[in-house]
Amino acid sequence: MPAAIVFYVSGHGFGHAARVIEVINAILARRPEARIGVRTAAPRWLFDLTVTGKIMFSTLECDTGVVQIDSLTLDEADSIRRASAFHSDLVTRAASETRVLRELGAGLIVGDIPPLAFAVGGAAGIPSIGLGNFTWDWVYADYPRVRLAPSLLPAIRTAYSRASMALRLPMCGGFENFSNVKDIPFIARHATRTREEVCKLLKLPADKPIVLASFGGYGLPGLETDALAKFKKYTAVTTANLPLGRTRKEMPAAERKGSFISLNEEAMYDSGVRYEDLVAAAEAVVTKPGYGIISESIANDTAVLYTSRGHFPEYDVLVEEMPKYVRSAFIGHDDLFAGKWEAHLDKLLAQPRLKKKPETNGADVAAELLLKALDKPPKKPRGRPRAKV
């Protein structure tokens, strides 16, 4: 039985899982018989909907990320408290994972980008490779309350130092504790349907530019949708997951109010449209800056109207780097929640398109490197040469 690649994926948001899925699909495209394991707290439905082959999925909290109060607000104090509690017994957690890895037949570990992945690799004697655009020690070091958890950063950095390699994506921060870092292009989901197909399948009006509101699993409570419904120039679209306790029969495929349309995301996938297809069909996304939505906007030539998202160190890097790769502009919270988007969108879409599109084939590059690492023969233990007989 061939050795498996086991992915440990941060459950913080959907971006980590989305890009890992792209890498998994690229691996399976090259080697359909490859054995893939996934350990994550990210929702299984995301993998079930988008992985193109068979994987061994199991739910595990790999890290604690940052604590989100809502889409745009986080709790720094609780983030440090939870991270400190989780990583205080990282060695014990890693040791307990070795049995799981034996059952999976792991030959390579990939982490995006929980320290646990690399602590596990060290404990089990299995090579481990990091994948991501930031590291958690870099994030937590920016929070003043980290001084109240003096063992947190050393624990994370020690785990990262045990990795064999890190595949670093653009718009990055951290990685100082990885001894072998290789830069790769953007990992992004690419649309496979045209705008015309998306509009037809989802019954969206095609006579006006589509603007996609993308705020992850938390959505954007408090948004003045009545204002969006009165848009003259644009059609505003958002997606919603099926609420707990409601069946598909109770939820329409789309709820419409003037120029504002809320799509049932499960129904959207059932119709054959994926989220990246919707991104590509839109002229712009309105969002908080995150690697996933920015990379998809880059890949599908969609402009980005972004708002602030609280004290998350990645935000400053993304805002600084975005103009190099995609048309982008800022909208404050007041105008965002009031639905006063049209003037901002007019200015954003008046920006000239970038002359050179960045490479977005990072999933293919990562897949090649991971398969090469999986196939690499294990190092022989060192010892004194045996005497000739």
**Are 229 and 326 within one domain?**
yes
Quick one: tokens of 108?
A: 């390579």
In a domain, 382, yes or no: no
Percentage of residues of the chain with pLDDT beyond 90? 83
DSSP-derived secondary structure for 281-323: H-SEEEE---HHHHHHHHHTT-EEEE---SS-THHHHHHHHHH
Q: Are 128 and 118 in contact (CB under 8 A)?
A: yes
Nearest of 122, 110, 206 to residue 167 by alpha carbon: 110
Nearest of 307, 292, 289 to residue 223 by alpha carbon: 307
Mean pLDDT for the stretch of residues 109-117: 98
Under DSSP, the state recorded for 363 is H
Q: What is the pLDDT of residue 311?
A: 81
In a domain, 388, yes or no: no
In a domain, 385, yes or no: no
**Are 204 and 182 within one domain?**
no
Quick one: tokens of 266?
A: 């499960």
User: Rounded to whole angstroms, how far apart are CA atoms 68 and 60?
Assistant: 19
**Are 242 and 274 within one domain?**
yes
Q: Specify the number of domains making up the chain.
A: 2
Cis peptide before 113 (omega within 30 of 0): yes
Tell me, what CATH number does 256's domain have? 3.40.50.2000
**Are 266 and 336 within one domain?**
yes
List residues bridging with 38 in a β-sheet.
7, 57
Mean pLDDT for the stretch of residues 263-290: 94
List residues bridging with 240 in a β-sheet.
264
- Say whether pLDDT at 40 is over 60: yes
Is beta strand 254-257 parallel, antiparallel or unpaired with respect to 260-264?
Answer: antiparallel
In a domain, 328, yes or no: yes
**Are 129 and 32 within one domain?**
yes
Q: What is the pLDDT of residue 324?
A: 96
Provide the domain limits for residue 338: 195-350
In the numeric block, the tokens 């653009």 are attached to 170
- Say whether pLDDT at 383 is over 80: no
In a domain, 124, yes or no: yes
Mean pLDDT of the chain: 92
**Are 217 and 183 within one domain?**
no
**Higher local confidence (pLDDT), 73 or 324:** 324
246 half-sphere exposure, CB direction, 13 A CA radius: 11
- Please compute Rg for the chain using Cα positions: 22
**Are 67 and 148 within one domain?**
yes
Contacts of 144 (CB under 8 A, 6+ apart): 76
**Are 143 and 277 within one domain?**
no
In a domain, 356, yes or no: no
Nearest of 187, 324, 313 to residue 304 by alpha carbon: 324
Per-residue model confidence as pLDDT tens digits over 126-159: 999 999 999 999 999 999 999 999 999 999 999 9
**Are 18 and 159 within one domain?**
yes
291, 306, 363, 364, 368 from 28: Cα distances, Å:
23, 34, 11, 11, 11
List residues bridging with 4 in a β-sheet.
35, 106
**Are 67 and 153 within one domain?**
yes
- Say whether pLDDT at 246 is over 70: no
In a domain, 381, yes or no: no
**Are 255 and 237 within one domain?**
yes
Is beta strand 235-240 parallel, antiparallel or unpaired with respect to 260-264?
Answer: parallel
Neighbours of 43 (CB within 10 A): 15
Burial of 208 (0-12, 13-18, 19+ CB in 10 A): middle
- Say whether pLDDT at 385 is over 80: no
Q: Are 41 and 61 in contact (CB under 8 A)?
A: yes
**Are 106 and 158 within one domain?**
yes
